[in-house]
Copies of this chain bind each other. A is one copy, B any other.
Amino acid sequence: MSKNVGVGGDREKRSSCPLACTLDLLGDRWTLLVVRDLFFGRSRFSEFQRSPEGVASNILTDRLNLLVEQGLVERRSPPSGKRATYHLTDKGRSLRPVLAAVRDWGLANIDGTAALIGADAAK
């Protein structure tokens, strides 16, 4: 697996700390939710929009572009007239332990949380 994920390449780093560099890429309220939906097998823009958090279309577009640019997601363009679909690359799938750790912490520490259907996909 290549280690060259954007923030490690062209952009200026805040430090060489792997935690800081990963947060520069994924440290926001939305990006990992898109990754979660991809683990759930969702692949279309409209499917991501139907998730219960109600992501705004401009934010969703931005995060999908970021994930594609960083090599975590592949955009597939079917024959004309059909919408593009999005799929995790191997590098994207390598986020599974991150999602699992965050999910498990939330389940143990935040009242009223419950694993969504399809949560097995992020185990």
Chain A contacts to B: CB under 8 angstroms: 1, 3-5, 7-9, 13-30, 32-33, 36, 51-54, 91, 94-95, 97-116, 122
Chain B proximity of A34: nearest CB distance (Å):
11
Number of copies: 2
Q: Is the CB of A94 within 8 A of B112?
A: no
Q: Which residues of B contact A20 (CB under 8 A)?
A: 29, 33, 53
Partner among B7, B19, B53 whose Cβ is within 8 Å of the Cβ of A36: B19
Q: Is the CB of B3 within 8 A of A110?
A: yes
Known: A23-B29, A101-B98. A17 touches B108 (CB 8 A): no
Can you report 8 residue pairs joining A to B where beta carbons are below 8 Å apart? A13-B112, A14-B54, A16-B52, A17-B33, A19-B103, A28-B29, A91-B109, A98-B101
Q: How far is the CA of A29 from the CA of B29 in the complex (A)?
A: 10
Q: Is the CB of B52 within 8 A of A21?
A: no
Partner among B14, B29, B30 whose Cβ is within 8 Å of the Cβ of A52: B14
Q: How far is the CA of A9 from the CA of B112 in the complex (A)?
A: 8
Q: Is the CB of B27 within 8 A of A29?
A: yes
Q: Nearest residue in B to A122 (C-beta to C-beta)?
A: B19
Chain B proximity of A14: nearest CB distance (Å):
4
